[in-house]
Amino acid sequence: MIEETTITKAIIDTYIKDLLACVESDVIIGGAGPSGLCAGYYLAKNGLNTVLFERGLKLGGGMPGGGIMFNRIVVQEEGRALLDEFDIRYQQYEPGYYVANSLEATACLTSKAIKAGLRIFNLITIEDVMVRENRVEGVVINWSSVEMAKMHIDPVSFKSRSVIDATGHPCEIVRIVERKSGGTLLTSSGRVEGEKSMWADVAERMTVENTKEVYPNLYVCGMAANAAFGGPRMGPIFGGMLISGKKVAESIIKKK
């Protein structure tokens, strides 16, 4: 016999235990796109208590949509080792160009990250940050449905030693810091430089170069890195996104 209230208790009890384990963590990631998932995988794999908050229902950011809703992505030679790391199958289209199914890529990234120990909570929005003495020390979260309904319901705070903005093109966490902290970002102007028009070759390189600390204890990866530091977008080629996620994880691990 199946008892509905046992199902209810099982869901609430296990979810709350996971959430409470993240109130104070080593790293908080905002955004479950490919760079955020990749960063979370390497951080958790190396023993850091890592939590990822995703505003939407689905994970993967723009990856599941591939290019113009054709569910295929391209990864260049430099990123091929990461396809192997995540057990993502691919085929060579031309020398240096590898094609993967975007849905399989998203599923493999998610599965490996969770199995490595990354805690992921979807349908949660990071609406503010905790800044103490000009350093980011955590984030402020609320349910995405509260944001969508424009209800005035107070959020709660989660503390961490480092925060990663992996929110993609909007670089939302960096913009919150820029708007509210009164501090200066570690960009050339001290402010968000803004994303430039598509140039895949340059964007792939700059995504990795721009993956770094943008404000004390706040890091950027993926398209958030190019938006913060002023690089172009790259479209449906994802090697730079994956390498960026690995790089930001390695930067935080070294600082541990």
Sign of CA dihedral 88, 252, 121, 203: negative
pLDDT at residue 183, as a whole number: 80
The domain ranges of the chain are 22-61+103-160+176-247
Residue 216 in contact with residue 52, Cβ under 8 Å? no
CA 195 from chain centre, in angstroms, equals 17
Instruction: Name the DSSP class of 216.
Output: T
| Backbone angles phi and psi of 76, in degrees to 5 | -80, 175
The CA–CA distances, whole Å, from 109 to 32, 39, 53, 81 equal 10, 10, 16, 14
Q: Which residue matches tokens 């600082």? A: 255
Question: 0.75 exceeded by the pTM?
Answer: yes
Q: What is the CATH number assigned to the segment(s) 22-61+103-160+176-247?
A: 3.50.50.60
Half-sphere exposure of 113 (CA within 13 A, CB side): 32
Series of mean pLDDT values for 10-residue runs along the chain (256 residues): 97 98 98 98 98 97 97 98 98 98 98 98 98 96 97 97 98 96 92 97 97 98 98 97 98 91
> Measuring CA to CA, which residue among 60, 40, 49 is closest to residue 248?
40
